[in-house]
Amino acid sequence: MSNLWPADSAVLCDGQPSADTVEVVSPLVADVGSITVRRLLPRRARRLVGPWCFLDVFGPVKQSGRKPMDVRPHPHIGLQTVTWLFAGDALHRDSLGSEALAVPGALNLMTAGRGIAHSEETPAGATGAVHGVQLWIALPDAQRSIAPAFDHYAERPHVDVPGGRVTVILGRIWEVSPPGRTFSPILGAEIAADRAPRVVVPLDRAFEHAVVPIDAGLALDDLRLAPDTLYYLGTGRDEVCLGVEPGRRPRALLLGGAPLGETVLMWWNFVARTTEEIVAAREDWQAGRRFGEVRGYPGARLDAPAYVARPVPANPMS
Ligand code: MN
């Protein structure tokens, strides 16, 4: 997915963990074409969770017969994208020639490295339903100029635990560690609670973590959790214990990773370190250089917004 947010200023993200209290990050909501998007990262209150630097929840759109997702070809640098769906489908195409259908339970993982372009759209003949998340992972400085790649994983392993099922998207929980091209210690998982009173997932104390409920019906200690909200847990926790309301089957994302320890500069669809890199990437995209061509997408590619050179505002997105 492209960053379609109506913001033109760069966002500086210093990869330092915060205290181990719970920070609540409420979503910024926007209607982007025919779909509602809730932005949870980056926000003023929280820029990074481990290497996770971007999180949009989109949908749910019920069976609509329309094309709720239609993100025209656009470029990325310095990051990986994760598309993870709870319902519906989305067709990915990129400038490497990859074509892959994202469906619930499958992982689309795109490594931009020094540059790639892609599109994501509701496929022709689909029901028009979609509900999912788009995540970006900041690449560490040493790897951020690697060659681009795309990986589709049809299945992710899960573990059934008292109170629910945990699907490992990336990283490791217990001894479950599915294949996945990653470049710094990371965790991404979907928790599907299916009965009260609780579901417990062990955590790596060295990681910072966040819980993002997708449905109502979860609690963290005495705190009732709201859907589409990011609860940042900091580092130093051995486990997360989520209370489950009787009769509900709420889902949540669990994100984590070693604190990145680097300051990244984000603008539009680029994760960089300097303004010069962002300007160069933008110019290359506009001039048709570097990123290649996305073949098969029925329409024009996305133009980059103007880059407005100015100091990074203290409060760019809230
Ligand atoms: Mn994208």
**Tens digits of per-residue pLDDT, 113-170?**
999 999 999 998 888 899 999 999 999 999 999 999 999 999 999 999 889 999 999 9
Which candidate, 32, 40, 99, places its Cα nearest to that of 69?
A: 32
Which candidate, 187, 137, 180, places its Cα nearest to that of 166?
A: 187
pLDDT per position as a tens digit, 230-240 = 999 999 999 99
**Ligand 1: distance of its center to the CA of 112 in Å?**
10
**Ligand 1: distance of its center to the CA of 184 in Å?**
21
User: Is the pLDDT at 173 greater than 50, yes or no?
Assistant: yes
**Ligand 1: distance of its center to the CA of 162 in Å?**
36
Q: Kindly report the average pLDDT of the chain as a whole number.
A: 91
User: Is the pLDDT at 5 greater than 60, yes or no?
Assistant: no
User: Is the pLDDT at 248 greater than 50, yes or no?
Assistant: yes
**Ligand 1: distance of its center to the CA of 163 in Å?**
35
Structure-model confidence comparison of residues 303 and 30, the more confident one: 303
What pLDDT, on a 0 to 100 scale, did the predictor assign at position 38? 96
Alpha-carbon torsion angle 119, 257, 32, 305, nearest 10: -70
**What confidence category does residue 290 fall into, taking pLDDT thresholds of 50, 70 and 90?**
very high
DSSP 2-68: ----S--S-EEEE-----SSPEEEPPEEEEETTEEEEEEESBTTB--BTTEEEEEEEEEE-S-SS--
**Ligand 1: distance of its center to the CA of 142 in Å?**
22
User: Is the pLDDT at 283 greater than 80, yes or no?
Assistant: yes
**Ligand 1: distance of its center to the CA of 317 in Å?**
19
What pLDDT, on a 0 to 100 scale, did the predictor assign at position 34? 77
**Ligand 1: distance of its center to the CA of 285 in Å?**
14
**Ligand 1: distance of its center to the CA of 2 in Å?**
4
**Ligand 1: distance of its center to the CA of 76 in Å?**
7
